[in-house]
Amino acid sequence: METITSVSEMQQRAQAAHAAGQRIAFVPTMGFLHQGHLSLLKEGRKRGDLLVLSIFVNPTQFGQGEDFEDYPRDLRRDSELASSAGVDIIFAPTATEMYPKGYACYVDVERITETLCGASRPGHFRGVTTVVCKLFNIVQPHLALFGNKDFQQLAVIRRMTLDLNLPVEIIGMPIFREVDGLAMSSRNVYLSAEQRWQALALSRALAEGRRLVAAGERDAAAIVSALSGLIAAEPEARIDYIEICHQLSLENQARVDADSVLLLAVFFGKTRLIDNGFLWPDA
Ligand code: AMP
């Protein structure tokens, strides 16, 4: 396994792989790898000849007062995990390598970036699409794998890839959870034992939403209200949003149907966690 930090070196490796007829599979991350990331790498390993993992805590997707400085980083541990997952290349540039002096270019996806996490974190998706577009130009993958954990992010990246005619197949992967149901996230390390326990309200709310729909409830407002009560019962929970949206447009739905996704963002103390899931039975 190689670790590359230079943009031009990564581009040369990608071009050589293309010339040799290799398929490049790519998993972009911010590092501090967990089993959710590893599930993406495992799938990438199956689908590609050259498996590239990027590790880059991207400053442009963090707002003021967010956790950019504190975001957990451990490149040595990540390298060991990546090597055991069969990664061929880790691309781990510095912030100045990605955004050198004079940098002035951004990618903006309209509309679906304006709701949910986009409303709570202004500028966040502009940072995400900018860095993913740059990474696609650098790594030149045939396919890229993203988690459904960041449901809106995946929808935004699909939109960007389609609209900008980027020659990359986007693959969405299921949410990987701890045995007790908490969605894996690098940010889970911020939680105290008590907050970690209370955070199980998220997966409980998803299960309760599905139970209500299976029992015949179709009124989105009634479901959101029931789930708000369930989550707000946790003393350290502060709800950012609970919404039921169409899986493609991400527009709010009044009535639940087979395309309905429940999306949650909740603070436990200072830590903001997200989770989501389909509501329709067998979806
Ligand atoms: P991050 O390092 O948090 O930016 O995540 C990098 C990629 O891993 C994104 O495509 C995430 O959606 C995905 N990911 C993060 N957590 C999980 C999880 N629990 N299950 C599946 N994919 C995940």
Q: Give the integer Cα–Cα distance in Å for 198 and 235.
A: 8
Strand partners, 24: 50
CA distances (Å), origin 86, targets 26, 52, 138, 183? 12, 10, 21, 24
255-276 average pLDDT score: 98
Residue of the CA atom closest to atom 11 of ligand 1: 147
Per-residue pLDDT tens over the stretch 212-264:
999 999 999 999 999 999 999 999 999 999 999 999 999 999 999 999 999 99
Q: Which two three-digit tokens encode residue 199?
A: 């955070």
Q: Give the integer Cα–Cα distance in Å for 115 and 121.
A: 10
Share of the chain above pLDDT 90, in %: 99
270-283 average pLDDT score: 94
pLDDT at 265: 98
Ligand 1 atom nearest residue 31's Cα: 2
Distance 150 CA to ligand 1 centre (A): 7
Distance 146 CA to ligand 1 centre (A): 7
Report which DSSP code applies to 126.
Answer: H
37 is catalytic: yes
Only one residue has tokens 């003021």, namely: 64
Widest CA span of the chain, in angstroms?
A: 58
Report which DSSP code applies to 252.
Answer: B
Per-residue pLDDT tens over the stretch 75-101:
999 999 999 999 999 999 999 999 999
Rounded to the nearest 5°, which phi and psi values hold at 3? -115, 125
- Write out residues with Cβ below 6 Å of ligand 1: 29-30, 36-37, 39-40, 146-147, 149-150, 173, 175-176, 183-186
H-assigned helices in 30-106 = 35-47, 75-84, 95-98
Residue of the CA atom closest to atom 22 of ligand 1: 147
Ligand 1 atom nearest residue 27's Cα: 7
Distance 67 CA to ligand 1 centre (A): 17
Q: Which helix H or strand E contains 267, and what residues bound it?
A: strand 260-268
Q: Say what the pTM is.
A: 0.98
Distance 212 CA to ligand 1 centre (A): 28
H-assigned helices in the chain = 7-19, 35-47, 75-84, 95-98, 116-120, 124-139, 151-163, 193-198, 200-214, 220-232
Residue pair 145/117 in contact by the 8 Å Cβ criterion? no
Per-residue pLDDT tens over the stretch 24-50:
999 999 999 999 999 999 999 999 999
Ligand 1 atom nearest residue 30's Cα: 2
Residue of the CA atom closest to atom 18 of ligand 1: 36
Out of 37, 124, 142, 246, which one is annotated catalytic? 37
pLDDT at 282: 80
Average pLDDT of the residues of the chain: 98
Sequence-separated (6 or more) residues with CB below 8 Å from residue 116 = 152, 241, 243, 245, 250, 263, 265
